[in-house]
A and B are shown apart, each in its own frame.
Chain A
Amino acid sequence: MENIFRVIKNSWRNFTRNLWISISAMFMMFVALSVIGGLFLFDASLKTFVSGLQDRVDVSAYFTKGTAEEEIIAVKTQLENRQNVKSVQYISENMALDIFTERHKDNEVLINSLDELDDNPLQASLNIRVHNPAQFDKEVAFLENSSASEYIDSINFKENEEVINSVSQISANVSKGGFAFILGLGLLVILVTLNTIRIAIYSAREEIYIMKLVGASNWFVRMPFVLTGAWYGLIAGLFVVLFSYLGTWALHSRVSLIFADIDLYGYLVQNFLVYFALVMGAGLAIGTVSSWVAVRRYLNV
């Protein structure tokens, strides 16, 4: 037990003895861990964004002008009985006009040109939401093959689908690119840490020599240097977690204004343990692996 305490004490001395070199190694590790943590948050926010979009996807079936309201209500009832359909909203021609007028109230040209028309040019529609957006095709096919198809002028859902697909594609590409970036950066950080530990070994060469002379075990000589690398990772990791909190908290209100669905701060609070374990675990792994390699290569016992 006393020996373990001594090893920890020695590892901390290695850390403080070459403080500026330690700080530079930790800075590199901080950058690498920030990228890892940042990708985790970026991935989460993209997923939230996509699921928000999917939630908003609806199929709008537009009915030809003059279709009787009963016919439309009949179609609505048929749709509501279907398993995958979450909700169906009927928007009459008049409601459509109200919505259009409200939405474009600041656009005088549009409103004036609408006033020039004798009739309401907008069509009645049914807005359909489903539980599983992947099965929109089935609902569209159902409408096209139903008895109501003769009243249906057009069915529109393609646009949102394309947005969803492209965002999902971006998410996948970022994950792949990010992984490659992390691998490259990780290698660089391992090299920097390895050389930092090498300098620590060089600075402590007198002590190491005396330790060997008096019969210190290999474990007692080597372990402090391995632990020093672990300190770098853990301290850099703590800073990354701290800055992630401060950063997402500061951005919290601004991002929410633009993307209502994305609340990184809330996500971080909710997934604190996973995020903490990911960042600290990565820091510990990078630090320990690089110092272990340095000790194996440069510290002869």
Chain B
Amino acid sequence: MLIFQEVTKKYPHAIAALENVSFRVNEGEFVSLVGRSGAGKSTVLKLLLREEEPSEGNVFFQGVDISTFHQKELPLYRRKVASVFQDFKLLPSKNVFENVAFAMEAAGRLNKEIREDVPQALDAVGLLGKEARFPHELSGGERQRVAMARALVQRPEILTADEPTGNLDPIHTWEIANLLVKINDMGTAVILATHDEMVINALKKRVITLYDGKIISDKQKGGYKIK
């Protein structure tokens, strides 16, 4: 479904953030990208969302080079690739329901669909009953779950998670990791970028390890190797 083909990303006046990176993610697969800060994990996700363009190589989604998408086609593509982040990226002025509904509104979904889908997504992440709370009234774990509910209502084919547990304590980290597995079990491919050793070793899923912008290992049921 997703192919990175000999992708290199160079920023001006800097060394390459990614160098000749190739890998493939199949439908419904769970892949962890691990590596130290600056190893290139976030760059992979940015290229996947087409926030950045590769300096060399190509990224294919469902057989189409995503760099060929016209400005008008890009939103449709981005609806298929949802994201969650370390800093949650919730709107502080909106409550839980509105934060999730906002994503659906922006994607042009009908009010009727919003009324149906938002409670379902909040139920899936265990936040039913907290619709009226604002982000500052929630714990870090709950905020991340709102972000995941927002991603879920997009009904994405891929969910990317960039250090989603980076700001969380161990208990909330497990909640989020379990939720990612649950979403993956529902059929969505998950790409998790993290350097949380405990999570990676517990998941027992495929692990791609990056070091200085290069893939140094790609193993099914891998573990955390960077020391």
Residue positions of A touching B, CB distance < 8 A = 2-3, 6, 206-207, 209-218, 220-221, 301
Please tell me the number of chain B residues within 8 Å of chain A, measured between CB atoms.
25
Which residues from chain B contact A211 at a C-beta distance below 8 Å? 106
Residue positions of B touching A, CB distance < 8 A = 49, 71-72, 74-80, 82-83, 89, 91, 102-108, 110-111, 150, 154
List the 8 shortest-distance A-B pairs measured between CB atoms, nearest first.
Answer: A215-B79, A216-B106, A215-B78, A214-B103, A215-B75, A211-B106, A217-B75, A214-B106
Given A206-B89, A220-B108, answer yes or no on A213-B75 (Cβ-Cβ < 8 Å).
no
Q: A206-B91, A210-B102, A214-B154 are in contact. List 4 more A-B contacts (CB 8 A).
A: A209-B89, A213-B78, A215-B75, A217-B75
Q: For the complex, give the distance between the alpha carbons of A25 and B19 in Å.
A: 49
Taking the closest CB of chain A, its distance from the CB of B77, in whole angstroms, is 7
Which residues from chain B contact A206 at a C-beta distance below 8 Å? 89, 91
Asked if B91 and A207 sit within 8 Å, CB to CB, the answer is yes
Asked if A210 and B106 sit within 8 Å, CB to CB, the answer is yes
Taking the closest CB of chain B, its distance from the CB of A219, in whole angstroms, is 9
Q: For the complex, give the distance between the alpha carbons of A3 and B76 in Å.
A: 16
Asked if A210 and B103 sit within 8 Å, CB to CB, the answer is yes
Asked if A217 and B108 sit within 8 Å, CB to CB, the answer is yes
20 A–B contacts, CB within 8 A, in A order: A2-B111, A206-B91, A207-B102, A210-B91, A210-B102, A210-B106, A211-B106, A212-B78, A213-B82, A214-B106, A214-B107, A214-B154, A215-B75, A215-B79, A215-B80, A217-B75, A217-B108, A218-B71, A220-B106, A301-B71
Taking the closest CB of chain A, its distance from the CB of B65, in whole angstroms, is 19
Asked if B110 and A215 sit within 8 Å, CB to CB, the answer is no
Q: For the complex, give the distance between the alpha carbons of A301 and B71 in Å.
A: 8
Which residues from chain B contact A215 at a C-beta distance below 8 Å? 74-80, 106-107, 154
Taking the closest CB of chain A, its distance from the CB of B75, in whole angstroms, is 4
Q: For the complex, give the distance between the alpha carbons of A216 and B108 in Å.
A: 7
Contacting residue for A214 out of B72, B74, B78, B110, CB 8 A: B78
Contacting residue for B72 out of A3, A210, A218, CB 8 A: A218
Which residues from chain B contact A214 at a C-beta distance below 8 Å? 78-79, 82, 103-104, 106-107, 150, 154
